[in-house]
A and B are shown apart, each in its own frame.
Chain A
Amino acid sequence: MADELAGLGRSRPSRRLLTAGGVLVVVLGLAALAAPWLTPYDPDAIVVASYHGPLAPGGGHLLGTDTLGRDVWARLVYGARTSLFVGGLAMAVSLAIGMTAGVVAGYFGGVTDAAVMWVVDLFLTMPSLLLLIVLATVLPPSLLTIPLVIGAIGWTTFARTVRGEVLSLRERDYISAARALGAPDRRIILRHLLPGVLPGVVVLAALGMSGAIVVDAGLSYLGLGVPLPTPSWGRMVSDAQTYIAVAPWLMLAPGVAIALAVIGFNLIGYGLIDLIGRRNA
């Protein structure tokens, strides 16, 4: 025990990964919440007196102005709201569908399991981005439908992982004991299985969040994300592409923002994997 603690004290990569990811995510979250205090400008307002192309960074506009004469920094910090909201809701939807499917499949087994896994296979076979594009076009795009669609397509990883963990937990003695005592399925699932599944789910939630942010950015880049004028990082990249020769700085900010958000959540995810693996080892 003492040796273990000493080992943890010497090199704690999991702790460091978690801290780094946590700092990134908290900073992004605070920036999203405090957006009105971080910039005097309205993200949708045209802030230049007369338009002569995008302004370079400096002179009251930290990151310059964009192709329509809007403040880039303002769009970036308000864009954090969009990205985190869409990512968070999409992840929650995936989590809800995937956990339910995984628990049901793993616990009941047999035909139920086969049916659920068949649907999972189906979703893994379909090119997810194409499906997303189709759904995003078919449904009226809004700040709600986009995350719902992303979540409804991305649940398979949750289902597979949760099913796997339930399969191994199901055979444990304490579950058999609960069953022998006559506990109803609902009670066994809610009181005995879910707590065992949770650590893995937390990891997936962090990784799922970064995945959803990337997918949302890709959809926005294709022009199929949350509708205008809501600021979104993906659309900022596609707007910048047209002006890349005259205003390359427009390209830099939104891409770095997406990457930082994704890195933040991935660091948390990997840190947790490391932490859980260490505890079980």
Chain B
Amino acid sequence: MIARRLLRALTTLLGTTLIIFILFRVVPADPAVSIAGPKADPETLAAIRKDLGLDDPLPVQYGRYLAGLVRGDLGRSYMTGQRVADVIAVRVPATALLAGVSLTLGFLAGLVVGIATAARRGSTIDVAVLLGTLVGLSLPTFWLGNLLIYEFSYRLKLLPLGGYGTVRHLVLPAATLAIVEFFFYARFVHTNVGGMLNSDYIRTARAKGSPPARVYFVHALRNALIPIVTLLGLDIAALMSGVVLTETVFNWPGLGRLAVQAVFDLDLPLVAGTVLFSAVLVLAANLVVDLVYVVIDPRVRHG
């Protein structure tokens, strides 16, 4: 089962490289022009094109692209000439920090609130959770970030309005993303654990006198964990989108801002590199999720 899953991830990865390659072949902008500038003479442009291998047949170019990827070579940035892999590597820690902190906080808070409110089905709290998360999930990330900037940077002058370096810089962007993640998980956990609480085995656990906390966090949660873990895997892709916007709002020097800037510069190798890198992250996350299933669900292990 694991071998089949790996094979599938590999074919998806191959498809991703093909899409990225096609996408950047249809770009009307001439890479030679973005390197040499609009005023370069035709000879220089032709030389650059030859140098980049842009005159070769497309399958040859794709083959060369793949061969490079296997060696870990993502090409060189048109703008700075640096290796794309190096440029990305420099930005990874900032994004990992932001995404890691906000996902952890948002997920845990959502888990706790979701479980704590799950027992109150049909009550005022139930309605409040559903409406609250509905509103919370409808707030655009970039707007939420700006509201926090206004309140905490301008009005209260507590925190910097953007930038990178200290814990104080991390608070607002991490809070923005964590709030979004919180609403997302609170709603999902609330609905899923709520459904579990009506089942027979929970009634059994209650009947034999298990304390409520044990019923919720051990019995109900364990069964609800499977869809929650699935969601966590899918959420990595969505989190990347949130990261792009949040990094832009707060001028956070991570992958998202790198990608946006590269798009504006038409720095194609850099854009292709960041897109591919995020795709690999999502694939890896989903593989991990599949492995986690084996651990938390005995039915997968023995079935």
Seen from chain A, the residues whose Cβ lies within 8 Å of a Cβ on chain B are 11, 13, 118-119, 121-122, 124-131, 133-135, 137-138, 210, 214, 217-218, 221-222, 224, 234, 237-238, 240-241, 244-245, 248, 251, 254-255, 258-259, 262-263, 266-267, 270
The answer on a CB contact under 8 Å between B260 and A214 is: no
Seen from chain B, the residues whose Cβ lies within 8 Å of a Cβ on chain A are 8, 11-12, 15-16, 19, 23, 26-28, 122, 127, 130, 134-135, 137-143, 146-147, 149-150, 154, 234, 237, 240-241, 244-245, 248-249, 259-260, 263-264, 266, 271, 274-275, 278-279, 282-283, 286
Query: Considering the chains assembled together, what is the distance between the CA atoms of A267 and B127 in angstroms?
Result: 13
Query: Considering the chains assembled together, what is the distance between the CA atoms of A279 and B176 in angstroms?
Result: 39
16 CB < 8 A contacts A-B: A118-B15, A125-B237, A126-B16, A126-B278, A127-B240, A127-B278, A129-B241, A129-B245, A133-B263, A134-B275, A218-B245, A222-B248, A244-B154, A255-B143, A258-B140, A262-B138
The answer on a CB contact under 8 Å between B240 and A129 is: yes
The binding surface of chain A is classed by DSSP as helix
Q: A133 — which chain B residues lie within 8 A by C-beta?
A: 244, 259-260, 263
The answer on a CB contact under 8 Å between A134 and B143 is: no
CB distance from B180 to the nearest CB of A (A): 11
Candidate in A125, A126, A210, A259 with the most chain B CB atoms within 10 angstroms: A125
Q: Which of A127, A214, A237 contacts B282 (CB 8 A)?
A: A127
Query: Considering the chains assembled together, what is the distance between the CA atoms of A79 and B289 in angstroms?
Result: 41
Q: Which of A122, A134, A237, A251 contacts B15 (CB 8 A)?
A: A122
Q: Which of B149, B259, B279 contacts A244 (CB 8 A)?
A: B149
Known: A127-B275, A222-B245. A251 touches B147 (CB 8 A): yes
Query: Considering the chains assembled together, what is the distance between the CA atoms of A267 and B26 in angstroms?
Result: 40
The answer on a CB contact under 8 Å between A130 and B150 is: no
CB distance from A236 to the nearest CB of B (A): 10
Known: A222-B245, A255-B146. A130 touches B274 (CB 8 A): yes
CB distance from B166 to the nearest CB of A (A): 22
The answer on a CB contact under 8 Å between A263 and B146 is: no
Q: B134 — which chain A residues lie within 8 A by C-beta?
A: 263, 266-267, 270
Additional pairs, 11, CB under 8 Å, beyond known A125-B282, A237-B140? A122-B16, A122-B19, A125-B279, A125-B286, A126-B19, A127-B240, A217-B142, A237-B146, A240-B146, A251-B150, A255-B147
